[in-house]
Amino acid sequence: MRDFPLFPEQASTFAGPVDALYWTLVGLSLIFGGVLPFIILYLMVRYHRSQKADRTNQVHSSLPLELTWTVIPLVLVLAVFFWGAFLYIEIRNPPDRSLEIYVIGKQWMWHVQHPNGKRENNELHVPIGQPVRLVMTSQDVIHSFYIPAFRVKQDVLPGRYTTMWFEATEPGEYHLFCAEYCGTEHSLMVGRVVAMRMADYERWLTTPGEIILPDGSTGGAVASPLVGAIGDPMVLAGSQLFATGLGCASCHRNDGLGIGPNLEGIYGTEVRLDNGELVFADENYLRESILNPAAKVATGYANVMPTYDGQVSEDQMNQLLAYLKSLGAADAE
């Protein structure tokens, strides 16, 4: 991982477009904020009433001139606005083929879990040439996941999920920061992103390593009925929680005969609530339905589900989400 250059290297598909927009804004700012004031100052001094300047050909009004200095800035502003808007839309909408990786922020570290169950702290290994979507939450205060070389940054909030995506283009090691002051050791909440070729990434995923727990400690499987074996694929660990650890399967039956709705294929669809409102079943909807089921009750079902707030850790919640998102995914494809 290199030291701090004046400008971070470009290591993602977003780096070039973001830098181009940035330097355009810098250039326009220099023109309107750095050059024009000196021109105005020069004209003020040159044509001050104390100066013997030729004032015999004064222009009192000129429609073409006024249109010029009105239309040109307007066109520039609109061009920058739409440029930034389209780039923002691209940054906020990951491709369907994105690799999902779950991230938990806590004082003062990043905990990462890959789909196959492999974990790491303050490091993020990703393949190049593959869109990567991070599903992130915090278990204490607001953090911000920032990779300067990728030109991406996203706040990580307690009690809900935020997401961001990128596609690395250059193999290497890059700085990872928390960009939101989060307490006394905020400056120590740093790490690295390791971008690897796909073959190397797949080899790394399957290479046994030291088991890392969400609290940063190391060790074997945790002796708890609510925790899947450390290292299990996230979908498998989530299915164990769903079926036996929390007993969700007894109410949410896939034949639709349970006292709760069938959850197969629910992720990414619209759900009608008992008040007639339609809501989108994303990660935050599923999370709220587990921790505060009375907040949004699906139409046709009674409000009988108990809350699991305080009974499910952030790590277990990620595993449940991975499992729920997998239900019906094979059929959809």
Residue 256 backbone dihedrals phi, psi, to 5 degrees:
75, 10
Identify residue 5 by its one-letter amino acid code: P
Checking if the pLDDT of 215 tops 60, the result is: no
pLDDT at 168 over 80: yes
Q: Please count the structural domains in the chain.
A: 2
Cα gap 128→150, rounded to integer Å: 12
Q: What is the amino acid identity at position 89?
A: I
Q: Are the C-beta atoms of 106 and 137 separated by less than 8 Å?
A: no
Structural domain includes residue 57: no
Query: Which residues does residue 280 pair with via DSSP β-bridges, in sequence order?
Result: 270
pLDDT of residue 227: 32
Per the domain annotation, does 108 fall within a domain? yes
- 170 with 309, same domain: the answer is no
Residues 162 and 284 in one domain: no
Of 150, 181, 214, the one marking the end of a domain is 214
Hey, what are 110's tokens? 């990043």
- Residue 56's pLDDT is 74
* Beta pairing class for 190-196 and 123-127: parallel
Q: Choose one of 214, 248, 271: the last residue of a domain.
A: 214
Is residue 210 located within the same domain as residue 315?
no
Going by C-alpha positions, the residue among 324, 320, 297, 137 that lies closest to residue 246 is 320
pLDDT, mean of residues 315-326: 91
| CATH label of the domain that carries residue 246 | 1.10.760.10
Query: Which pLDDT tens digit goes with each residue over 118-137?
Result: 999 999 999 999 999 999 99
What angle separates helix 63-92 from helix 15-29, to the nearest 10 degrees? Answer: 150
Q: Which of 95, 173, 183 is nearest to 138 (CA)?
A: 183
13's tokens: 């598909």
Q: What is the pLDDT of residue 208?
A: 73
| Mean residue pLDDT across the chain | 85
Residues 9 and 105 in one domain: yes
Phi, psi of 285 (to 5 degrees): -65, -45
Strand, coil or helix: 331? helix
Residue 226 binned pLDDT confidence (cut-offs 50, 70, 90):
very low
Looking at residue 229, its pLDDT comes to 32
Token pair, residue 126, equals 């990703």
30 shares its domain with 81: yes
Residues 19 and 164 in one domain: yes
pLDDT of 111 > 50? The answer is yes
Token reading at 180: 């939101």
By residue range, what is the domain housing residue 268? 234-332
> With contact defined as beta carbons under 8 Å apart, do 138 and 155 qualify?
no
Lowest mean pLDDT: which of 119-123, 178-182, 309-313? 309-313
Strands 278-280 and 270-272: antiparallel
Q: Is the pLDDT of residue 223 over 80?
A: no
Q: Does the model's pTM come out above 0.85?
A: no
In angstroms, rounded to a whole number, what is the distance separating the alpha carbons of residues 125 and 103? 12
CATH of the domain at 24: 2.60.40.420
Q: With respect to residue 47, please indicate whether it lies within any of the assigned structural domains.
A: no
Domain match, 210 and 242 both: no
Taking 3-state DSSP, the helix, strand and coil percentages for the chain, each rounded to the nearest 5, stand at 35, 20, 45
267 and 207 in a single domain? The answer is no
In a domain, 219, yes or no: no
How does pLDDT run across 230-266, given as a tens digit for each residue? 457 899 989 988 888 888 888 888 877 788 888 888 8
Q: Are residues 202 and 85 in the same domain?
A: yes
d(CA 267, CA 269) in angstroms, rounded, equals 6
* 225 falls within a domain: no
What confidence score (pLDDT) does residue 256 get? 76
Question: Does residue 52 belong to any structural domain of this protein?
Answer: no
Res. 221: pLDDT tops 80? no
Show the tokens assigned to 128. Answer: 């190049």
Same domain, 24 and 150: yes
Q: 45-73: per-residue pLDDT in tens?
A: 877 777 777 767 777 777 888 888 889 99
Average pLDDT over residues 171-183: 93
Span 71-92, mean pLDDT?
94
Q: Over the stretch 197-211, which tens digit does the pLDDT of each residue have? A: 999 999 998 887 654
Question: Do both 181 and 301 map to the same domain?
Answer: no
Q: Is residue 223 part of a domain?
A: no
Give a yes or no: residue 168 inside a domain.
Answer: yes
Cite the DSSP H helix spans in the chain: 15-29, 36-46, 63-92, 198-205, 234-240, 283-291, 314-326, 329-332
Q: How confident is the model at residue 214 (pLDDT cuts 50, 70, 90)?
A: low
Q: DSSP readout, 181-239?
A: --STTGGG-EEEEEEE-HHHHHHHHTS----B-TTS-B-S----TTSPPTTS-HHHHHH
The answer to whether the beta carbons of residues 168 and 127 sit under 8 Å apart is yes
Q: Which of 181, 214, 247 is the last residue of a domain?
A: 214
Indicate whether 328 and 210 sit together in one domain: no
pLDDT at residue 13, rounded to an integer: 95
The DSSP symbol for 155 reads E
